[in-house]
Chain A
Amino acid sequence: MKQFIIRRLLIMIPVFIGISMIIFGLIHSTPGDPYITMLDPNITEADREAMLNSIGYYDPLPVKYIKWIERAIKGDLGYSIRYKEPVADVISRRIGNTLLLSVTALVLSVLIAVPLGIVSATKQYSVFDYVATILALIGLSIPAFFFALGLIKVLAFDLGIFPISGIETTGANYTGMKRVLDVLHHMALPIIVLTFVQTASLMRYTRSSMLEVIQQDYIRTAKAKGLSERVVIYKHALRNAMISIVTLISLSLGGLLSGAVLTETVFVWPGMGTLVYQAILNRDYPLVMAGTMLLALCVLFANLLADIMYAVVDPRIRYE
């Protein structure tokens, strides 16, 4: 097991370098000079050149890349051009908000989707199965941001049940329990959107992997030896179906973190998605670089986690 994890980690190194090189190359080929707004407009052209030179603006791309990697490994992610403070500080303020949304949505969707998928599979072709499958297909097909816009229009504007955007009431300065309730109130709509979309794919997946397992011979054997339906489904079938379900859950964590850009933008949620999106529009290179790398790393580790989980829950997988 230890060897397996170490080997997986070693494979991650070239992948990580590849990701960082491509992202770095991309970001540094965006047109325009981001420092133009940062410098005092009264300084002379020569001074400006000297300053740009000193921060390495004219270095060739590979040199810039190596400098960035060197500093990043030491924990120095650079200085945000727009926020005028270290990138690490800006990100640490935002990442919690994104985690709050995506982890809550993931937990809720697992709690909803797995039981629904099991019932749907055990009662295949029933009305319940039909309704659940259609609902799941709707969830897979609706653009999350369009669903979000619809909810804002109906529930926030027309009915006034939920706030339109943001994470808390601006200017209210609530503390303690009141603040928690306020944030929960603001969270409701984005959580509904993310959970619905996530539940749809997870439910479909649970259903199909349960169906696959239920048709196997050992399930028939278990039924034939007189075990109750309940024991057969939950003890024998579910355990095996869980192997692929667990993998999908850890894979979707990465997707949730990086995929929430549009949902966050629509709800003006101060998370990583809106931060990186704004940074791209503002050509805030250091922030875009660190933010994108961080999200890619999350996906990379989620994939690793999926691989490890798969190996842990499935004893048939040999690690050598």
Chain B
Amino acid sequence: MANNIANKSSNISKVQGEEGTSLWKIGAKRLIKNKLAVFGIVVLSILIILSVLAPVITPYDRDETNLTNTYQKPSKEHWLGTDELGRDVFTRLIYGGRVSLSVGLVSTSISVIIGVLLGAIGGYYGKVVDNIIMRIVDIFMCFPFFIMAITIAAILGPSIWNVMIISGILSWPSIARIVRAEVMTVKEREFVEASKALGLTPIEIIFRHILPNVLAVVIVYTTLGIASGILSEAGLSFLGLGVKQPQPSWGNMLSAAQNLRSLRLHWWLWVPPGLLVFITILSINFLGDGLRDALDPKLKH
């Protein structure tokens, strides 16, 4: 008898397991059908490969200066010319991709961790806890983002880690809000009641049973968050408050355009990094939209 039940329940979990994967498979299938999303995946993959393989691709050293060869126009030797110190712009551009992409990833991870935790706690417990968390969210939502970022950057000093921290700490509230709303609806469902009846602790319920149901939304917003992380890096570094030279980033390469002469005459210094920021964010937006359509059944038309 007991054996029988055990058999049955293992059958059930097997079936559920298959359904679980097939839901993601359906999502993946829908995603692949979306041309713009595929375009986004391809472009992002190329950019990631380029920046990871940077030392293999370019014959030049990242910081190799050549003061007899400054402000050279794009040529066969230097695909995107050279900068004010004679460094190869193409080389710095693909090395800069490492910085810009990792700033996007790390800062978003920070904001997702804070946002999901606080959002889930607020949504699950409700009442006073929720009220306090939501007031903190309100406070952060009122901060003029860029001015706060500049102020914190002025205190912490310019560095790649500080850019990640600033952007992460300032952008968690929107994720917290979304997760909270999702958790509030999920927690009313029967399986949560069942988990409570089984005597699971709130932490187990939140992490094992509620958050997996919120995952699709979190994935979509994480994707879009990476775009805003890259944008903040570009903006802060452009103003000289982000990633510091000689380490290249797309943002601090763009700051070459702060010099009016370079803005007018040396387009190869600032147009390529700007275009890469633009193309990266466009691809992320394509992918994010595709993911939303693929994973969020509520928005399916």
B239 to A18, Cβ gap below 8 A?
A: no
Query: Bound complex: CA of A119 vs CA of B227, how far in Å?
Result: 28
Interface centre among B144, B147, B264, B271 (most CB of A within 10 A): B144
Minimum C-beta distance from B52 to chain A (A) = 23
B side interface size, CB within 8 A: 40
B274 to A141, Cβ gap below 8 A?
A: no
Q: Provide the residues of chain B in CB contact with A265, threshold 8 Å.
A: 239
Query: Bound complex: CA of A232 vs CA of B65, how far in Å?
Result: 66
Contact with B along A245-262 (1 / 0, CB 8 A): 000000000100111011
- Which B-chain residue is minimally distant from A134 (CB atoms)? B36
Q: Given A280-B154, A281-B154, A157 and B238 touching (CB < 8 A)?
A: no
Query: Bound complex: CA of A146 vs CA of B136, how far in Å?
Result: 33
A157 to B286, Cβ gap below 8 A?
A: no
Describe A's contact surface by its main secondary structure. Answer: helix
A153 to B264, Cβ gap below 8 A?
A: yes
Q: Provide the residues of chain A in CB contact with B254, threshold 8 Å.
A: 145-146, 149
Q: Provide the residues of chain B in CB contact with A258, threshold 8 Å.
A: 144-147
B141-165 interface (Cβ within 8 A of A)? 141-148, 150-152, 154-155
Minimum C-beta distance from B194 to chain A (A) = 33
Return the contact of B147 from the options A141, A142, A276 (Cβ within 8 A).
A276
Is A112's beta carbon under 8 Å from chain B? Answer: no
Q: Provide the residues of chain B in CB contact with A292, threshold 8 Å.
A: 144, 147-148, 151
Is B263's beta carbon under 8 Å from chain A? Answer: yes
B144 to A259, Cβ gap below 8 A?
A: yes
B150 to A141, Cβ gap below 8 A?
A: no
Return the contact of B238 from the options A26, A141, A262, A303 (Cβ within 8 A).
A262
In the complex, identify which listed stretch (B18-26, B53-61, B104-112, B277-285) lies at the interface while the others stay far away: B277-285
Is B76's beta carbon under 8 Å from chain A? Answer: no
Is A140's beta carbon under 8 Å from chain B? Answer: yes
Is A110's beta carbon under 8 Å from chain B? Answer: no
Query: Bound complex: CA of A235 vs CA of B263, how far in Å?
Result: 50
Is B270's beta carbon under 8 Å from chain A? Answer: yes
Return the contact of A143 from the options B147, B152, B234 (Cβ within 8 A).
B234
Query: Bound complex: CA of A30 vs CA of B151, how far in Å?
Result: 8
- Which A-chain residue is minimally distant from B238 (CB atoms)? A145
Return the contact of B136 from the options A18, A30, A280 (Cβ within 8 A).
A18
- Which A-chain residue is minimally distant from B138 (CB atoms)? A15
B141 to A299, Cβ gap below 8 A?
A: yes
Return the contact of A149 from the options B146, B155, B231, B270 (Cβ within 8 A).
B270
Query: Bound complex: CA of A142 vs CA of B237, how far in Å?
Result: 16
A137 to B282, Cβ gap below 8 A?
A: yes
Return the contact of A259 from the options B146, B267, B271, B301 (Cβ within 8 A).
B146
Minimum C-beta distance from A285 to chain B (A) = 11
Is B127's beta carbon under 8 Å from chain A? Answer: no
A280 to B143, Cβ gap below 8 A?
A: no
Q: Given A153-B263, A259-B144, A296-B143, A141 and B151 touching (CB < 8 A)?
A: no
Query: Bound complex: CA of A45 vs CA of B82, how far in Å?
Result: 51
Is B97's beta carbon under 8 Å from chain A? Answer: no
A29 to B155, Cβ gap below 8 A?
A: yes
Query: Bound complex: CA of A300 vs CA of B289, how far in Å?
Result: 29
B286 to A26, Cβ gap below 8 A?
A: no
Is B128's beta carbon under 8 Å from chain A? Answer: no
Is A224's beta carbon under 8 Å from chain B? Answer: no
A249-300 interface (Cβ within 8 A of B)? 254, 257-259, 261-262, 265, 273, 276-277, 280-281, 288, 291-292, 295-296, 299-300
Q: Provide the residues of chain B in CB contact with A291, threshold 8 Å.
A: 147
B285 to A137, Cβ gap below 8 A?
A: yes
Minimum C-beta distance from B265 to chain A (A) = 9
Return the contact of A299 from the options B144, B227, B260 (Cβ within 8 A).
B144
- Extra contacts, 4 of them, besides A145-B234, A153-B267 (Cβ < 8 A), are A150-B274, A261-B144, A295-B147, A296-B144
A-B residue pairs, 10 tightest by C-beta = A258-B144, A146-B274, A141-B282, A141-B281, A295-B144, A18-B139, A299-B142, A261-B146, A157-B264, A15-B138
Q: List 25 A-B contacts (CB under 8 A).
A: A11-B135, A15-B142, A18-B139, A19-B139, A23-B148, A30-B154, A30-B155, A141-B278, A141-B281, A141-B282, A146-B277, A211-B301, A259-B146, A262-B235, A273-B146, A276-B150, A277-B150, A280-B147, A280-B150, A280-B151, A292-B147, A292-B151, A296-B143, A300-B142, A303-B141
